[in-house]
Structure 1
């Protein structure tokens, strides 16, 4: 949907939690996978250059 809307290059997507895994995240084109909320915050920092 992000590609269809023409905004895929303007947003970052992070997936995670129990129903997700890293291979699936890569398969769907997510920018990052996080195992936990804390990991998700760290991924956000990395993706935004705040790390």
Structure 2
């Protein structure tokens, strides 16, 4: 499950993120957009309900 406040690109929490490789290539932790946070929270809620 992805943390709602995880990296914009890969979802990993800021603490312990370091440098990762993902869709935008090599990246450091980047704050997620407000829409990403909302979508992740809704997905987490839906997963708990099923």
> What TM-score range do you get, normalising by the shorter chain?
0.3 to 0.5
State the TM-score, normalized to the length of structure 1: 0.35
**Greater helix proportion:** 1
